[in-house]
Amino acid sequence: MNYHLAVITHVMLVFLGAVLAVPLDLRDVFVPPVLYPATGTVWKIGSRHNVTWDISTPPSQITNKLGRILLAKNGTLDIEHPLAVGFDIMNGRQVVAVPPHVKPDADYQVVVFGDSGNMSKKFTITE
Ligand SMILES: *[C@@H]1O[C@H](CO)[C@@H](O)[C@H](O)[C@H]1NC(C)=O
Ligand SMILES: *[C@@H]1O[C@H](CO)[C@@H](O)[C@H](O)[C@H]1NC(C)=O
Ligand SMILES: *[C@@H]1O[C@H](CO)[C@@H](O)[C@H](O)[C@H]1NC(C)=O
């Protein structure tokens, strides 16, 4: 790797680290409340569903319109297996498939991230 490329890479990594280190609540964030899934929702493994969220109160300036949906279990995000990435956060819905690797349980949540995220209510996944 030549010197300039190394410097640029280093600067980018430092910048990325700084961005990731900023507390979510200090950023100009859109945290759409998740409407579905909700309490009482049951999803089967492998089935497909529309996750929906409220887009009625977006901030005046959205710095990152691309969304990401993650599954959380007992409050822990599965960041390695996003349910959906790269969709427009202003769509208000996104189809996701329940991944085959998840264990049936009643402590799942989804998080819709634009600039930040907001967890759904806990719901159930079954075989
Ligand atoms: C997430 O959405 C709920 C409404 O469903 C809201 O009360 C709460 O403040 C939001 N959380 C954040 C971090 O904005
Ligand atoms: C998601 O919602 C769209 C629009 O209502 C609908 O056409 C589509 O069939 C839904 N997909 C699933 C998997 O529910
Ligand atoms: C769920 O999370 C809480 C708090 O992090 C922890 O105390 C509890 O043991 C967890 N439960 C399971 C079943 O992992």
pLDDT one-digit tens code per residue, 9-32: 444 444 344 444 444 443 455 668
* Gap from CA of 50 to ligand 2 centroid (Å): 6
User: What does the alpha-carbon distance between residue 79 and residue 57 come to, in Å, rounded to a whole number?
Assistant: 26
Burial of 46 from C-beta contacts in 10 A (0-12 / 13-18 / 19+): exposed
User: What does the alpha-carbon distance between residue 69 and residue 77 come to, in Å, rounded to a whole number?
Assistant: 10
Give the pLDDT mean for 59-85.
Answer: 86
* Residue whose CA lies nearest to ligand 3 atom number 8: 74
Residue 75 CB–ligand 3 contact under 6 Å: yes
Residue 86 CB–ligand 3 contact under 6 Å: no
Q: In terms of pLDDT, which residue wins out, 23 or 60?
A: 60
Taking the complete model, does pTM exceed 0.85, yes or no? no
Its CATH class, for the domain covering 28-126, is mainly beta
Residue 1: Cβ within 10 Å count:
8
Instruction: Quote the pLDDT of residue 115.
Output: 55
* Gap from CA of 67 to ligand 3 centroid (Å): 28
Q: Which two tokens stand for residue 117?
A: 């995220």
Residue pair 83/110 in contact (Cβ under 8 Å)? The answer is yes
Instruction: Quote the pLDDT of residue 39.
Output: 97
Residue 47 CB–ligand 2 contact under 6 Å: no
Task: Specify the amino acid at residue 72.
Answer: A
Judged against a pLDDT cut of 50, whether residue 81 lies above it is answered with yes
Residue pair 51/43 in contact (Cβ under 8 Å)? The answer is no
Judged against a pLDDT cut of 70, whether residue 118 lies above it is answered with no
Average per-residue pLDDT for the chain = 78
Band (103; pLDDT cuts 50, 70, 90): very high
Q: What are phi and psi of 95, to 5 degrees?
A: -75, 135
First to last CA, the chain: 49
Instruction: Quote the pLDDT of residue 36.
Output: 97
